[in-house]
Amino acid sequence: MRPYESVATAPGKTILFGEHSVVYDEPAIAGAVNKRAIVKIRKSRNKYTTLKSDDLGFEAILNTKRGTYVLKRGKPGIIRYILNAMGKFHDHSPIDMDLGLTLPVGSGLGSSAAVTVATIAALHDYHNVPFTRESLAEEAHKVEEDVQGIASPLDTLVSTYGGLVYLSREKRIVRFDNHLNAPFVIGFTNKYGNTGKMVRDVKSLKTRYPELVDPIIDTMGKIANEARIAILKEDIGRIADLMNLNQGFLDSLGVNTYELSRMIYAARNSGALASKITGSGGGGSIIALCRQDNVDEVAQGINRYDRTIKVKFSKDGVLVNNKPVH
């Protein structure tokens, strides 16, 4: 018998090392944050499926068989990920779905992955379909690939497993025991990033200039490996150097913007040890590594023109009805 309501939540993430290079099988490091997507599913009393999000300000009627929708209010945005997941994992019976989101959309904090993971987990629970974290991460990654054309597995892995993780070239996940007890500030702009477009743009650049771009991608992978050692040793100075180096290579791939640069240098000028893009770029967010005594000062520096969000790394991955998935 189906439960009255299935509830699944999944965390967003921040990438410390490996943006874009991870798409080409280089290692990466990312951590789950304490901001989440919340998906609630219940049987509908109507003959159609509805999707509502007060946090995002939209409401839609979905045709899950055709993969189409009628928007009643707001902008569609993230609906494509939900429709794709429903096409794969729902029996098309009428349901009502509520989406809560404490992550800024398009900010580079993995909102699409968090929504996708939470949606699939809630659907599986609603239909009493057994699943594991491993299978869920793979299914969510496939949805992101379908929607974006090409997608890194990192976002969905972190959103599923939680914690601070290292993703190897062989796609093996290694969770850090330590959670990098250093303060970070996330800065984000009103100009949202488009992950799919940024990934396609880098792919196009790589195709046109492989002899120039391939070494950049390779070096970014080496930086991630060096960072793994630095994190294990809790060598904050080395982590800072590597973050700043990583930013230089992201800039060379063309994913930086004026707004992101403004935040990066506002953070550094306010005393941050390091600052770089986190996520796909083209808008969205930066992450700044601070000293214990200057977090507020760095945040104030960024807030002169943009906005900040205070996040903590979270050990929790996907939760279904408030219980972890194994």
Output the CA angle 285-54-12, nearest 5 degrees.
Answer: 35
Q: Which CATH number covers residue 288?
A: 3.30.70.890
Residue 298 lies in a domain: yes
Q: Please, what is the Cα angle at 246 between 221 and 114, to 5 degrees?
A: 75
Q: In the predicted model, is pLDDT for residue 105 greater than 80?
A: no
C-alpha distances in Å from residue 41, one per residue of 22, 48, 97, 98, 183 = 33, 13, 5, 7, 36
| pLDDT value for 318 | 97
Name the CA radius of gyration of the chain, rounded. 19
Distance between CA atoms of 163 and 62, rounded to whole angstroms?
34
pTM reported for the whole predicted model: 0.82
Q: Are residues 147 and 104 part of one domain? A: yes
Do 195 and 269 reside in the same domain of the chain? yes
Check whether 3 has a pLDDT greater than 70: no
Q: Residues 282, 159: one domain?
A: no
Residue 168 and residue 191 share a domain: no
Q: How far is CA 64 from the centre of its chain?
A: 25
Which domain CATH number covers 168? 3.30.230.10
Residue 268, both tokens: 């550094």
Please, are residues 252 and 206 in contact by the beta-carbon 8 Å criterion? no
* pLDDT score of 182: 81
Looking at the structure, do residues 17 and 55 belong to the same domain, yes or no? yes
Work out the percent of the chain whose per-residue pLDDT is above 70: 98
Give the chain's domain count.
2
Tens-digit pLDDT profile for residues 153-187: 888 999 999 989 998 998 888 889 877 778 889 99
pLDDT value at position 87?
93
In a domain, 162, yes or no: yes
Question: Is the pLDDT assigned to residue 59 strictly greater than 70?
Answer: yes
CA distance 180 to 201: 32
Which H/E stretch holds residue 264? helix 258-269
- Rounded mean pLDDT, 200-212: 96
Phi and psi torsions of 148, nearest 5°: -95, -15
16 within 8 A of 29, measured Cβ to Cβ? yes
Residues known to be catalytic? 155
Strands 173-175, 285-289: parallel, antiparallel or unpaired by DSSP? unpaired
Going by C-alpha positions, the residue among 277, 219, 223 that lies closest to residue 250 is: 277
Helix (H, G, I), strand (E, B) or coil at 6: strand
Lowest mean pLDDT among 148-157, 256-265, 292-301: 148-157
Whether residue 240 is contained in a domain is answered as: yes
Measure the CA–CA gap between 137 and 319, rounded to whole angstroms.
Answer: 13
DSSP, collapsed to helix, strand or coil, labels residue 109 as coil
Report which DSSP code applies to 313. Answer: B
pLDDT of 77 over the 90 cut: no
Does residue 236 fall inside a structural domain?
Answer: yes
Q: Phi, psi (5° rounding) for residue 115?
A: -65, -40
- Go through the chain and tell me how many residues it has: 326
Residue 140 φ then ψ, to 5°: -65, -40
30 with 14, same domain: the answer is yes
User: Does the pLDDT of residue 1 top 60, yes or no?
Assistant: no
The answer to the question of residue 30 being in a domain is yes
Rounded CA-CA distance 59/81 in Å is 15
> Does residue 288 fall inside a structural domain?
yes
Q: Do residue 152 and residue 229 come from a single domain?
A: no
Q: Does 61 or 109 have the greater pLDDT score?
A: 61
Whether 303 and 320 map to the same domain: the answer is no
List of residues 6+ apart from 263 with CB closer than 8 A:
187, 189, 275, 286, 302, 305, 306
Quick check: 104 pLDDT over 80?
no
Q: Using pLDDT thresholds of 50, 70 and 90, give the confidence band for residue 114.
A: very high
Is residue 1 a part of any domain in this protein?
no
Task: Phi first, then psi: give them for residue 100, nearest 5 degrees.
Answer: -110, 145
Q: Do 319 and 232 share a domain, yes or no?
A: no
| Distance of alpha carbon 66 from alpha carbon 69, whole angstroms | 9
Q: Is residue 189 part of a domain?
A: yes
pLDDT band at 284 (very low <50, low <70, confident <90, very high): confident
Residue 184: Cβ within 10 Å count:
23
Q: Is the domain of 123 the same as that of 232?
A: no
Domain that holds residue 195: 184-309
Mean pLDDT of the residues in the chain: 91
Residues 6+ apart with CB under 8 A from 212: none
For residues 206 and 295, membership in a common domain is answered with yes
Residue 32, SS3 per DSSP: strand
20-46 pLDDT, tens digit each: 999 899 999 999 998 999 999 999 989
Same-domain status, 204 and 62: no
The confidence band for 106, taking pLDDT boundaries of 50, 70 and 90, is low
